[in-house]
Amino acid sequence: MIIASFIGLLYIAGFYLLLRRSLVRAAIGALLLGHAANLLIFVSGGLSAGAPIIREGEDSLISPYPDPLPQALVLTAIVIGLGVSAYLLALIHRTAEIAGGDDMDDLKEEE
Amino acid sequence: MNSNLLILPAIVPFVFALVMLWLRGREGAARYLALLSGVIQSIVAALLFKLVLSEGTQTLEIGGWEAPFGITFVADLLSASLALVTSFVSLAIALYISVEKDEPITHPFTLPLLQLLLSSVYGAFLTGDLFNLFVWFEVMLITSFVLLSFGDAKQAIGGAIKYVLLNLVSSVLFLTAIGLLYGKTGTLNFAHIAARVGHLSNEPLLIGAATLLFCAFSIKAALFPVHFWLPASYHHTPAFVSATFGGLLTKVGVYAMIRTFTLVFPLQGTWLQTALWIISIATMLFGVLGAASQMNFRRILSFHIISQIGYMTLGLALWSPLALSAAVFYLLHHIIAKTNLFLFGGLAARLCGSDDLRKQGGLYSSHLPTAILFLIPALSLAGMPPLSGFFAKLLVLQAALEAHSLISVICMLLVGLATMYSMIKIWSEAFWKPAPADAVRPSNRTPSAGAYLGVAYLALFTVFIGVGAGYVFPICERIAGELLDQGCYIHAVLGER
Amino acid sequence: MKFRTSCYSLSGASAVLCIFAIWASMNLDAPYYLAFDWLPKVGLRISFRVDSFSLFFVTLICGIGSLVFFFCAGYLPGDKSRSRTLSILLLFTLSMLGLVLSDNVLLLFIFWEFTTITSFFLVGAKCEKKEAREAALQALLVTVAGGMALLVAILLLFMAAGTLELSSLEANRQLIQDSPLYPVILILIAAGAFTKSAQFPFHFWLPGAMTAPSPVSAFLHSATMVKAGIYLLARFHPILGETVLWHDLLIGIGAATMIVGASLALARTDIKALLAYTTVSALGMLTFLLGLGTTLAMKAALVFLLVHACYKAALFMVAGSIEKLAGTRDLDRLHSLGKMSPALWCAAALPALSMCGLPPMLGFIGKELIYEAKLIAPTIDELFLLIGFTANALTVTAALLAAVKPFIPRTMDSPPKRKLTLPLLAPPIILGIVSLACGLFPTWVGDNLLEPSFQALKGEPSQIKLKLWHGVNPVFILSVLTLVTGALIYWIHSYFARMVSVVERWSSPFAPERLYAQLVKRFVQFASLQTRLAQNGSLNFYLTVTLCFASLLLAAAFFSLPEKAVDLSLLIHLKTSLIILGAAAAAVLSIRAQSMLEAVLLLGVVGLGVTLFFVFYGAPDLALTQFLVELLLLVLIASIWSRLPAFRPDTPKREKRRDLFAACILGVFLSYFVLQAVFLNEHNAISEFYAQNAATEAFGRNVVNVILVDFRALDTMGEITVLAIAMMGIMSLLKTRKTKR
Amino acid sequence: MSPFLLRTSVKFIAPIQLALALYFLLRGHNEPGGGFIGGLAAASAVLLYGLSFGIQEVESKLPVSWFSFALFGLSLAVFSAFISVFVNQPFFTGIWGPELYAPLVGKLKLGTVLLFDIGVFCLVMGFGVGLGFTFFAKEAER
């Protein structure tokens, strides 16, 4: 329940920040959204103590164990998120350099 | 039945990208490598298509892990034909840039990135795994982000930012949907999900996941009203890059939509079907209106992509064997015609020194072969018989008539007329009109043989899909049959389990 | 020289084909069929039917075509784009032949569209001129719109009858006429035919199309292409005809077209425009006759088709020659041409006689038949008789205007004689002679050409013999009256023209061409407005719309649920609650952060919270990764800290509240589904497989890592590719640029 | 902390960090760790070193650019996936060699999977360092 509300909160905060005109805020929002989605995948596998590591000498995990698959997915998602956010940072940096500001609407063009 | 043929379309351009990256700075070599890559892709895709055509759906369990556990690549007829068409596009673009020294490659990374983009497109078409699809999507996105930002003009960066942030929303929604779906079904393989969803109905989680996937794919496919990123960005890149974008990117979204909403969540009878229908109609109309208001060659084309996507999703929304096969037919036709038009956009811009139709002109008298070749995809897009676009529209139209959907029919006709209008606008401005006095005079240099070969190669397919509709359409019908029979796909992937 | 040679050879080929068609028409007993499948799903087959009616049209197309190609040899040289024009003309001829030979309606439609598009290129042949481009667009849009109506009709026809072969459709006549779709099909087919054949109110594109070179006008816009609509209606008469709707629709539109075309013609001073409006009128006449649908009317229509094709093509060619001769087509400025070139006058006079309907020309027979058809038609109103009469009289006037006025001298000085080349003179003269010959030997023409084609169309003989002299009867009196009236109007035609112009000016707001122009203008305006509003370039707006779209769909999903309850009873450890609360607080604060430092730090806190969460719930790998990623990102941010744009005072409060509202709605709906998802894993099968097999099959005890590098290694490859690509992007974005800013 | 002190401590810490990163990589298959974590840890070591000694210092010691390093990682990963194709197995199938015993790390089974993980390691390390240096260089430009 609490975790669900927390994820929800992250979504709200993320979306809200995304809607700000400041690009840096939008980027932070994007990161928060990433956290939210990752957490969701993580908890969707169920929560359990222990680690998905097979003990030395055993052949398989001993129940109860946390679902390893969502962990792998989240790991992948985190890394992809890293790539995208680093790129976003550079892009914002470049935008600031070119447009001289942080406002999204500085980029408004004739469309 | 495992066949490594399934992974090859995705991996060939990947390997070529790596080679190009190692040789970065040697532009000439990269151009020839792109050509070689295009040829190999075509061969591989053709072999795959032939295999699937004769022996039915093929699967490849990557890493040798059996179906629901590892990642499975699945080539049913839809995936195989899309891969085939993609390889056409790839080869045409490689031809276009191969010996075309006039077409400057703005950045040493452009060609390798293009190969990676193709790789991810093949991957997305062929994967049978939801999360893997997400990964391919991300590869595709980041590649296109980077390609966009090479433009380096203020507009290009602005377009890139819009593209990034709007697609980011899509990715977040996609991930959320994966989370929900995994929470409910505990699996990621399309076939396995479909099999498990089959037992459950009206589960809140499933409806939520379906809706989220719907949103995410709508953004990727640039449906109204979440299409904004597309016209903002497509025209800032070199012509052959926007040709790849225009031909393939949104279509991957459409493909994902078709796959998900036939296999996992069959649309029929759900409220999403109505929603998709409304959205499709709106997409058709607004796209074409956008095109009518533009005076920039490639922007017109960008808006037309949106409008045409509407036709495809309309086919999905109408949900009948005919409508689905029409949608698939449209998809195949559109990839080829649109890529070709974007290539012409580049040619025209180079010959006239501007992308702006007001500054172009006189190409009909100075470059007759270009003009004639341009007419093929342009008239095809406008729905002139006997080119591919005519049959695509005809089939969707018939599907709409059979569904007694009067509004669809009327909208389709209006949109068809408006499409004709804007294609003729391009023709009239860039080709017929004498070059404006103040503009750069059209250069008398003819485009090189490579460029001609590239566009002619695609034009050939446009003609073939039209004239050979009697051959192509039965394949689309078979595809529709496969799509409507979920059990067939599930069985092919999971076997008797 | 080479160009001339190709003209002559094309002309010769057409002539041979024309003679062959006549011969075939005389000797054809039963229709000849040829068919292949193309796309059976929509009823499309490549099927041709050669019957006498088709052959009649083939004769027309090839005959006129032959002369037009011949004419081209004199008219086109000097034109830069002559070869293009000639090739497109050839394409057009082929498509027209395809059109009249198709048995399959959809195949017919394909050729139909071919003729439209070739016509487009021919109208726009002088593409340097803006008017030419606009006229071409206008002609194209009107005919394409009609074509679409036709296409829908064809698809409906297929749905109703299950076939698209004309030959089998005739057999299904009753089925189609009883179908509820019948009125729709009929109206749509008529719409297609009307736009193509320039019927009122779609007639305006035809005069506009006169920007095309004269051979084109002679060929496409008088003799052949515009007759395609008539051909279609004639072909569909046995299938859809002889109903009240057919009757009313065609007679009404035909009559309106007749009178509008003829009246407007007189107000033109451009000789080609004048001829174009009389063409409109003649097409109206043909539609009218098809609407009547009696045996006599059909026969009259056939005769008139031939008559009109001969004289109108000839007159258009004369108009072209006049242009060559005098450098203008303006009737007000043309005079004394008879002295300049008597041969040309002769070339103009013969067809004009036919147009007036004077004996012994074929035109006389045509007009007699038409009057006869009208007089003995069972249900015809007197009004229509009057309209027909007026239109005919006005046509006589128009003929005089075109063929007499430019040739008679108005001043005393006589201009020098000028010789026109043979190709400019011979074709109209030949056509005139043909008209004359047909008039002199009507029986031969009737028996060998018209009667077989009538039979092919209707399936029964007409029993009507063509005769030049019927004796003095009401029909003859009407004919004479028509001539006299026409001549009288010619006498006062300047007044008449002024009158028409005044009426035209008054009615101009409702004139169809005005409406068309308005429609196109408004469409473009609306499109621009719409696009400016929607595609306004503001990312903020785009994002808002996108989020609202998602909210809307999620809301719809939520309300579509049969059961909305959520189990709220699940709780969580105190320890984690604290972490989560801390992170949540940070998240909430971050949205209010006023400085970048604050925002970034708070972001770090959220990340830390997530990391700790991973630690407590058995995900050491995740925790480590999350931590390191967080660290790297912070380092990156820190490194370009001073280069990042400073936080500016944020947007107004109202806007903030609006955004918060939008975010909340989406967030709340998402949370609802998240709530459903938490702790709900019913099928664990695939993870169990990993737990069982990681050590034994994949030789690794860290299951997460085994999944990453073995079970789902492809995902990992994708993600490292993302990293590599991101790196390329960043490197090129941040590459030191010395010069540019 | 004075620059001198910082440099001396970094001189000691960085190699340890690097060793730790390698350790993470190699034992990743059995214990928490793996290519990512190892790569990121290694990247942070180099970054730290670069920060304290200057980027030029580090870059001049290296024969190849960091991008090439990352590229090498990616190529290695793809190559490892390809090996199975040559022996006619599905793409990415793990081909296993003998099991070794490495000091500190424990049992280590050689195979294409390990090769893949090393590829990931190189790529992530190249990514991290390359990016960090690019960003730093941008900052230093002012």
The amino acid at residue B476 is C
CB-CB contact of C474 with C375 (8 Å): yes
Q: Phi and psi (nearest 5°) for B460?
A: -55, -45
Which chains have 3+ CB pairs within 8 A of B? A, C, D
* pLDDT over 90 (residue B400): yes
Report CB contact under 8 Å: B397, C712.
no
Per-residue model confidence as pLDDT tens digits over C320-349 = 998 888 888 888 888 778 888 888 888 888
What local confidence, expressed as pLDDT, does residue C740 receive? 40
Give chain D positions within 8 Å (CB) of A79: 36, 124
Residue range D41-70: average pLDDT?
Answer: 81
Could you say which DSSP state residue A107 is in? G
Most confident stretch, B245-249, C615-619, C678-682 = B245-249
What local confidence, expressed as pLDDT, does residue D109 receive? 75
Distance from CA of D53 to the nearest CA of A (A): 24
* pLDDT over 90 (residue B279): yes
Q: Phi and psi (nearest 5°) for C464?
A: -110, 125
Q: Any CB–CB contact under 8 A between D133 and chain C?
A: no
What local confidence, expressed as pLDDT, does residue D75 receive? 92
**Between C645 and C437, whose confidence is greater?**
C437
Q: Any CB–CB contact under 8 A between B155 and chain C?
A: no
Using CB atoms, pick whichever of A51, A75, A86 lies closest to residue D131.
A86
Q: Give which of B422, B103, A95 is closest to C528, Cα–Cα.
A: B422
What local confidence, expressed as pLDDT, does residue C170 receive? 87
Q: Any CB–CB contact under 8 A between B410 and chain D?
A: no
What local confidence, expressed as pLDDT, does residue D28 receive? 75
Question: What are B415's two structure tokens?
Answer: 């949109």
* pLDDT over 60 (residue C709): yes
Residue range B299-306: average pLDDT?
Answer: 90
Query: What are the b/e assignments for C725-734, b being 16+ CB within 10 Å?
Result: bbbbbbbbbb
CB-CB contact of B248 with B119 (8 Å): no
What local confidence, expressed as pLDDT, does residue C738 receive? 43
Confidence band, pLDDT 50/70/90 cuts, at residue C102:
very high
Give chain A positions within 8 Å (CB) of D36: 75, 79
What local confidence, expressed as pLDDT, does residue C532 receive? 83
* pLDDT over 70 (residue C606): yes
Q: Any CB–CB contact under 8 A between D94 and chain C?
A: yes
What local confidence, expressed as pLDDT, does residue C610 receive? 85
What local confidence, expressed as pLDDT, does residue C70 receive? 92
Q: Any CB–CB contact under 8 A between B1 and chain D?
A: no
| Among chain A residues, CA nearest to B169 | A30
Residue range A48-67: average pLDDT?
Answer: 72
Using CB atoms, pick whichever of C644, C681, C718 lies closest to residue A96.
C644
What local confidence, expressed as pLDDT, does residue A110 receive? 42
* pLDDT over 90 (residue B126): yes
Q: Give which of C539, A82, A91 is closest to B151, Cα–Cα.
A: A91
What local confidence, expressed as pLDDT, does residue C285 receive? 92
Report CB contact under 8 Å: B138, C722.
yes
Using CB atoms, pick whichever of A53, A75, A86 lies closest to residue D31.
A53
Report CB contact under 8 Å: B168, A33.
yes
What local confidence, expressed as pLDDT, does residue B201 receive? 63
Q: Any CB–CB contact under 8 A between D50 and chain C?
A: no
Which chains have 3+ CB pairs within 8 A of A? B, C, D
What local confidence, expressed as pLDDT, does residue B440 receive? 60
CB-CB contact of C235 with C276 (8 Å): no
What local confidence, expressed as pLDDT, does residue C478 receive? 87
Per-residue model confidence as pLDDT tens digits over C160-200 = 888 899 888 888 888 888 888 899 999 999 999 999 999 98
* pLDDT over 70 (residue D45): yes
Per-residue model confidence as pLDDT tens digits over C47-65 = 999 998 999 999 999 999 9
Per-residue model confidence as pLDDT tens digits over B179-205 = 888 888 888 889 988 888 876 666 778
Gap between the Cα atoms of C241 and C298, Å rounded? 12
Strand pairing report for B58-61 and B72-75: antiparallel
In chain D, the number of structural domains is: 1
Per-residue model confidence as pLDDT tens digits over C277-323 = 999 999 999 999 999 888 888 988 999 999 999 999 999 999 999 88
Q: Any CB–CB contact under 8 A between D139 and chain C?
A: yes
pLDDT averaged over chain B?
Answer: 88
Report CB contact under 8 Å: C727, D67.
yes
Distance from CA of C156 to the nearest CA of B (A): 8
Distance from CA of B71 to the nearest CA of C (A): 6
Per-residue model confidence as pLDDT tens digits over B80-100 = 999 999 999 999 998 888 765
The packing angle between helices B388-402 and B321-352, to 10°, is 150
| Among chain A residues, CA nearest to B299 | A111
Gap between the Cα atoms of B296 and B426, Å rounded? 9
What local confidence, expressed as pLDDT, does residue B333 receive? 94
What local confidence, expressed as pLDDT, does residue A111 receive? 42
* pLDDT over 70 (residue B103): no
Q: Any CB–CB contact under 8 A between B229 and chain C?
A: yes
* pLDDT over 90 (residue C114): yes
- Quick one: what percent of chain C has pLDDT higher than 70? 93
| Among chain A residues, CA nearest to D124 | A79
Gap between the Cα atoms of B132 and B306, Å rounded? 26
Q: Any CB–CB contact under 8 A between B14 and chain D?
A: yes
Q: Any CB–CB contact under 8 A between C572 and chain B?
A: no
CB-CB contact of C614 with C629 (8 Å): no
Residue range B70-78: average pLDDT?
Answer: 91
Residue carrying structure tokens 């080609």 = C272
The packing angle between helices D35-53 and D3-27, to 10°, is 170
What local confidence, expressed as pLDDT, does residue B326 receive? 94
Give chain D positions within 8 Å (CB) of A71: none
* pLDDT over 90 (residue C97): yes
| Among chain D residues, CA nearest to B2 | D90
Residue range A66-83: average pLDDT?
Answer: 89
Using CB atoms, pick whichever of A16, A72, A102 lies closest to residue C645.
A102
Q: Phi and psi (nearest 5°) for B335?
A: -55, -45
Report CB contact under 8 Å: C727, D44.
no
Distance from CA of A35 to the nearest CA of D (A): 18
What local confidence, expressed as pLDDT, does residue B338 receive? 93
Q: Any CB–CB contact under 8 A between C440 and chain B?
A: no
Residue range D91-115: average pLDDT?
Answer: 76
Residue range C411-436: average pLDDT?
Answer: 83
Residue carrying structure tokens 């004739």 = A110
CB-CB contact of B245 with B253 (8 Å): no
Report CB contact under 8 Å: C546, B169.
yes
**Which residue, among B8, B18, B122, B127, would best test binding to D if mutated, counting the most D CBs under 10 Å from its CB?**
B18
Report CB contact under 8 Å: D131, A75.
no
Using CB atoms, pick whichever of A18, A38, A95 lies closest to residue B157.
A95
**Which residue, among A42, A44, A76, A110, would best test binding to B if mutated, counting the most B CBs under 10 Å from its CB?**
A44
Using CB atoms, pick whichever of D30, D32, D36 lies closest to residue A79.
D36
Residue range B335-346: average pLDDT?
Answer: 91
Most confident stretch, B18-22, B345-349, D44-48 = B18-22
Report CB contact under 8 Å: B161, A111.
no
Per-residue model confidence as pLDDT tens digits over C372-409 = 888 877 666 788 888 888 999 999 999 988 888 888 88
Residues 6+ apart with CB under 8 A from C219: C64, C65, C68, C89, C92, C225, C313
pLDDT averaged over chain C?
Answer: 85
Per-residue model confidence as pLDDT tens digits over B210-264 = 999 999 999 999 998 888 888 877 777 888 888 999 889 999 999 999 999 999 8
What local confidence, expressed as pLDDT, does residue C195 receive? 94
Query: Could you tell me if residue D48 is left (phi over 0), alpha (psi between -120 and 50 degrees) or otherwise beta?
Result: alpha
Residue range D42-53: average pLDDT?
Answer: 84
* pLDDT over 80 (residue D132): yes
Distance from CA of A27 to the nearest CA of C (A): 10
Distance from CA of B181 to the nearest CA of A (A): 9
Q: How far is CA B282 from the centre of its chain?
A: 20
SS3 state of residue D100:
strand
Residue range B298-309: average pLDDT?
Answer: 91
List the single range of A18-22, A104-108, C225-229, C562-566 with lowest mean pLDDT: A104-108
Report CB contact under 8 Å: B63, D78.
no
| Among chain C residues, CA nearest to B66 | C711
CB-CB contact of B178 with B134 (8 Å): yes
Residue range B34-44: average pLDDT?
Answer: 93
What local confidence, expressed as pLDDT, does residue C573 receive? 57
Q: Which residues on adjacent β-strands are paired with residue C725?
A: none
What local confidence, expressed as pLDDT, does residue B32 receive? 87
**Between C295 and A104, whose confidence is greater?**
C295
> Which chain C residues in 49-78 lie under 8 Å from chain B, judged by CB atoms?
none
Residue range D96-123: average pLDDT?
Answer: 79
Which residues of D lie inside 8 Å of B (Cβ-Cβ)?
A: 71, 74-75, 78, 82, 84-85, 89-94
Burial class from Cβ neighbours inside 10 Å (0-12, 13-18, 19+) for residue C83 reads: middle
Residue range C134-152: average pLDDT?
Answer: 93
SS3 state of residue C45:
strand
What local confidence, expressed as pLDDT, does residue C643 receive? 66
Spell out where C10-157 has E strands: 32-39, 44-50
Residue range A76-105: average pLDDT?
Answer: 80
Question: What are B464's two structure tokens?
Answer: 């073939």
Report CB contact under 8 Å: C39, B473.
yes
Burial class from Cβ neighbours inside 10 Å (0-12, 13-18, 19+) for residue C180 reads: exposed
Q: A2-48+67-105 has which fold?
A: Helix Hairpins (1.10.287)
Cα dist. B150→B33, B236, C636 in Å? 21, 9, 21
Residue range B333-359: average pLDDT?
Answer: 87
Helix extents (H) in B186-249: 190-197, 204-221, 229-233, 239-244
Residue range B59-81: average pLDDT?
Answer: 88
* Structure ipTM: 0.93
SS3 state of residue C490:
helix
Q: Any CB–CB contact under 8 A between D127 and chain C?
A: yes
What local confidence, expressed as pLDDT, does residue C153 receive? 93
pLDDT averaged over chain D?
Answer: 81
Which chains have 3+ CB pairs within 8 A of C? A, B, D
Per-residue model confidence as pLDDT tens digits over C497-527 = 888 888 888 888 888 888 888 898 999 899 8
Give chain B positions within 8 Å (CB) of D70: none
Report CB contact under 8 Å: C648, A59.
no
**Between B57 and C582, whose confidence is greater?**
B57
Report CB contact under 8 Å: D113, C713.
yes
Is the C-alpha dihedral spanning C478, C480, C484, C487 positive or negative? positive
